[in-house]
Structure 1
């Protein structure tokens, strides 16, 4: 079986042979190792066949010995294609330059669309985008990816609740959701204020309603604090009780902190690797090979290459390898206790209102076990314990 690819690369020709004794001529070619195929007879003294270009250069000698005339009808394969390309090198260079120019222009930012933002916010967004290099005329390879742009805008512009960034062709499209202005106070239905948990009343501020407890009173969860029924007997009315009742509440926290902790830190060394991705094939361009450091974290950023509005199966990859070192952090027992106490405070604060304050803390149990400091801590918290509870409607007798 003939290898079609080899024939294309080396070149092949179709030969016409005329004269007497063409059968003997074919036998001579075969005996001398010249491969021929597609042999066809045209009359009694003419045949055509196909052979390799390298063998075609040898057959004139055998043709003269057999009184045959030869001519070449058709040439095909890479050598002839390359020769034609050289003749038309100007056209090929122009076409290649045009293709590269179109590809270059397809990867330039030509538009930035922002939807859902007020004019002032849009101006601020465009100003931040300009600082990040996201502007018309900039090559997409040299700007951050859409996730990075989205994260940067959200961190820098406080008036944004959410921003979605999407790259469509050569245009960045941003969908913005701004923070809503404070809503007007809603009209409350008649209600009481009751305790949401067990506490000792520390202070009170009643804007509307009748208080039914005093400072230092001990209250249970669900107990009435401020009544929404005001007025004298026989002339009462129901209102929405409004106010704050600050009470002393109690929490317990359990914390364990190792005295010795191993973790990784970056040491500042890094290696950049650039490659071209075609389908599933990744071709290194620069920075190939393993880094000098053994421990590292890799961050890979892939940029798609566009041609007009189409996304080509070709990407440019930039991978950053950051060296890291394992380090050991050791605490003394006192240091571990102090840090564990701070961790416990932070843990408690996550479940409290922003206005709540820690009044006091007391270590109930302290233990050093298995290389860990173990603390059980009791906290006294001052927080607003009042929550609204609708006043039941009276049913007519």
Structure 2
């Protein structure tokens, strides 16, 4: 590669040599130290070769001495390019002017975009950035990214983080907005989201209605959103309605179910695939790639068709159809009773893990095998988990209308925030169909299914 580059810088030519004494010509050139390369024989008494431009004069003397004819076919290299450009001064000047113009334009920022803005409008961010010196048409070296970030943070307090990146003629302002807590709406109770046994009660605001060791039911008030106060100078207390805050942890029981077969039959993908592409024009089809028939005996096929159109209302009679064949195989597995039980337990635990809310802590586990007919060839397992979790959720109420109100789902934290809850407890929970072997619902697959049978 380096040799070719140096040859291009020095310049070389493609010569055509004709005559009866070509071998003598080549030998005389070698003895005089003239190097040539890429020698190609065109037939009887004709040869093409490449040689540096400075050796052409010496080769002409050898040509006359050997009675051969030497013709220059092509001139290649930088010296010949410069010579041609000198004869086309207008073209050279235009090219240089164009390159200078492109270089000058590349020194400016021509596009500014904002990413990450959700509540704030991009226009508002761009307006503040323009005040800090970042706008279309400004020189790149005049853009101070740190200064722009500082101004944006000062004038837009909704932003938690700002980053400015300039690449080429485009500047990108990346922002991350602050997640402000929603203001409390009105008075509310903390009620039980599910049944459980109270283990810990922390009241920050409101009046507790239960104590540790109590058993509660779903919807039962745990911390009331009212407090009794005694006004100065009066003897009778009066209620003050507040938004209850606190943490109520209870023991909750979950039950999961899993099963596994001792002998399993089914189909599974092998990972191999093949595809074909066809072009359809006016009802006629041409295969561009692959085969119309599947190379596999057991497979799934996914078809995609692209119709060409001009705009929205004018369709062309041209379409491209793509088929992808995925190979599947039939399989048969045999498990020992111990292996089937372990698999059933894994499926039951996977279901229970999916049911647990965030922050829940496992306290105890009970595993029980569900007996069934032996001829079924099926092992069933039921697992019961004892979990400690926060069961409180907000339920707003209107003092004049009693304690009815809408529910803002969520567990209370010490700051009054809330997180979502999961399901009911205490009843038998069966594993979703995707965890039950032999009875699960498979993922939907676009296209046709063609497969062998047992």
Question: How does the TM-score come out when normalised to structure 1?
Answer: 0.48
Question: How does the TM-score come out when normalised to structure 2?
Answer: 0.43
